[in-house]
C-alpha cells in the first residue's frame, strides 16, 4: 500500500497543477471579455442635432447618477432642516429667541461675530470668542465648521419640535 501511495501522490499533484492552470486560463478569458464589454458600454458620444457640434454623454454606467427625489421628499427635508428647536437659556439670550432653526442660529451667531468685531483678522472663517461666549461654548475660538458641533449641547431635540416644546415650562 505504501508503494501505491507514492505512485499516486505525484499524479495528484500533477492533476492539481493542471487544474490550477485551467482555472487561470478561464479567469483570463473572462477578464478579457469584461474589458471588451466595458469599453463598449463606457461612454457613447453623440452629436447634438441643433447645437454647434457640442458633445453629450448618452450612455454609461449609472453608478454616479443621483436621483433628485420627489418634490414631497425635498420639501420634507427642508421642513425638517428649518424646524424650530428649543435653545438653552444662555444661547437663547445671546441670539434673542427661545427657539430657532439650526441654520438661523448659525446665521445670527455669525452676524453677532461680525457686529462685535470678533472675526479673526488673519482668517475670517474663524471667530475669536469673548468671555461670555467662552462660558457658553467652552472654547476660545471656533472655525465655521466647528460651530454646528459646538451648538449641539445647546439645542434641545427631545421636544416634538418648534414653539410647542419651547412654550412648555420645564
| Gap between the Cα atoms of 106 and 22, Å rounded | 64
Chain segment 99-157, per-residue pLDDT in tens: 999 999 999 999 999 999 999 999 999 999 999 999 999 999 999 888 889 999 998 88
Provide the pLDDT confidence category of residue 169 given band limits of 50, 70 and 90: very low
Provide the pLDDT confidence category of residue 9 given band limits of 50, 70 and 90: low
- Grid cell 434641545 is found at 156
Provide the β-strand partners of residue 141. Answer: 128
Chain segment 15-46, per-residue pLDDT in tens: 888 888 999 999 999 999 888 877 666 555 44
Q: What is the pLDDT of residue 62?
A: 56
Amino acid at each position: 500500500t505504501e508503494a501505491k501511495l507514492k505512485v499516486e501522490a505525484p499524479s495528484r499533484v500533477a492533476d492539481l497543477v493542471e487544474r490550477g492552470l485551467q482555472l487561470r486560463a478561464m479567469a483570463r478569458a473572462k477578464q478579457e471579455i469584461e474589458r471588451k464589454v466595458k469599453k463598449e458600454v463606457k461612454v457613447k458620444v453623440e452629436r447634438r442635432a441643433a447645437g454647434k457640434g457640442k458633445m453629450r454623454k448618452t450612455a454609461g454606467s449609472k453608478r454616479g447618477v443621483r436621483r433628485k427625489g420627489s418634490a414631497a421628499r425635498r420639501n420634507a427635508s427642508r421642513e425638517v432642516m428649518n424646524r424650530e428647536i428649543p435653545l438653552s437659556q444662555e444661547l437663547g439670550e445671546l441670539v434673542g429667541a427661545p427657539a430657532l432653526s439650526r441654520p438661523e442660529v448659525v446665521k445670527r451667531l455669525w452676524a453677532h461675530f461680525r457686529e462685535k468685531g470678533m472675526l479673526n483678522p488673519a482668517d475670517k472663517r474663524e471667530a475669536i470668542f469673548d468671555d461670555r461666549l467662552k462660558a457658553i461654548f467652552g472654547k476660545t475660538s471656533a472655525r465655521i465648521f466647528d460651530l454646528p458641533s459646538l451648538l449641539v449641547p445647546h439645542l434641545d431635540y427631545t421636544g416634538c419640535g418648534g414653539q410647542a416644546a419651547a412654550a412648555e415650562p420645564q
